[in-house]
Structure 1
């Protein structure tokens, strides 16, 4: 039962034994309306409004680290994860963000680049950041150990947070839909209503998780200077 349940996250699409599941990460472009590329139009205005709001927020979070164009990487990260989260809600489309392979390959290089830059260019600041201000002398070794561990697990927490949230909703919807064949007719409509509500919730989770990943990555980058 568990194998069948989790098999919805297994790569299975292939043509001539060439796996095509990860191509779904690039399918977001196909869902953009053609009119988006005709400027000006409503789709372009809406998307530009969202990106400008994100740019202003990331600019504030980056503080002294901000320079022209530095928010583009976090806006691109937000857009990429948002598209993939939404694509996973469509039937028979591989949910790439539900795999640690994808989420770790996003969070780990980002974290490594921040750490390498911080330790090479702002070594003293990085050491100071490991001991919170006002820490008693006797507790300094313990605080240093705790801060080091919390810093090391950051890419893992980013990846697991995204993966777990994507898996949880999909599993719940799969479990509910698998019971439909054994339900009487008068409960089918109730089940469909619950599925619609869950789909709306998953759409909100898709937006929130992409926003959380982008915000946390911005905060981590602001700490290295």
Structure 2
């Protein structure tokens, strides 16, 4: 039963050894040229307002010499948000619920930050392993704990995003599968609950993309 439920999230069609459903991830690139020649609309002005707000918020977490990197996190937020909302559409492959995509976003970023931090800020990275005010007897344990917590960061980022995306879709699928066996009076309740869950999933899509970008910014600020 669980294998059948999880199989709905797997790519079903492929060509040249590449799943065609993964192309939905790059669908946002088709809309980018419209920004450069189309007249500004309410949607484009709203999106510009959102990106500017995120840029100012991320800039406050970083040093002035690293404020240019905020565009990376804004772009990451936009990519995750776009794919999260695409996954809410019927018969659309939800790529953000797969560890292949989420880990591909978090792991290269974490490796780059670690290389940059240990090469350019070695003393700061060593000092970060032992919080200020730690007793001497607890220092070896704190170094071990901080090292483990630092290593698992890309995994926690990837699992948090994938688990939150797949949990809501599984719940929607389970409730939708009970529709043919219900009476007409219960179907209206089911449809209403599905609509509420869809609204909740829309909020989760925004929140998880924001959390992923904010945590990435916080991890970057720790190496400065």
- Aligned alpha-carbon RMSD (Å): 1.9
Rounded Cα–Cα distance in structure 1 between residues aligned with 2:221 and 2:69: 11
Going from structure 1 to structure 2, the CA distance change for 1:152 and 1:204 (only over 3 Å counts) comes to same
The corresponding residue for 2:172 is 173
Contact 1:36 1:44 in 2 (8 A): no
Query: Is the aligned partner of 1:215 residue 2:205?
Result: no
Equivalences for residues 1-225 of structure 1 within 5 A: 1-14=1-14, 18-29=18-29, 37-67=37-67, 69-225=68-224
Rounded Cα–Cα distance in structure 1 between residues aligned with 2:161 and 2:213: 11
Return the TM-score normalized by structure 2: 0.94
Q: Secondary structure at the match of 1:71?
A: helix
Contact 1:35 1:43 in 2 (8 A): no
Going from structure 1 to structure 2, the CA distance change for 1:29 and 1:6 (only over 3 Å counts) comes to same
Question: How far apart are 1:156 and its partner, in Å?
Answer: 0.1
Rounded Cα–Cα distance in structure 1 between residues aligned with 2:133 and 2:22: 49
Question: How far apart are 1:13 and its partner, in Å?
Answer: 2.5
Return the TM-score normalized by structure 1: 0.94
Going from structure 1 to structure 2, the CA distance change for 1:16 and 1:114 (only over 3 Å counts) comes to closer
**Unaligned stretches of 5+ in structure 1?**
none
Rounded Cα–Cα distance in structure 1 between residues aligned with 2:56 and 2:17: 46
Question: How far apart are 1:78 and its partner, in Å?
Answer: 0.2
* Matched positions, count: 224
Q: Secondary structure at the match of 1:66?
A: helix
Question: How far apart are 1:39 and its partner, in Å?
Answer: 3.7
Rounded Cα–Cα distance in structure 2 between residues aligned with 1:214 and 1:35: 23
Question: How far apart are 1:34 and its partner, in Å?
Answer: 5.7
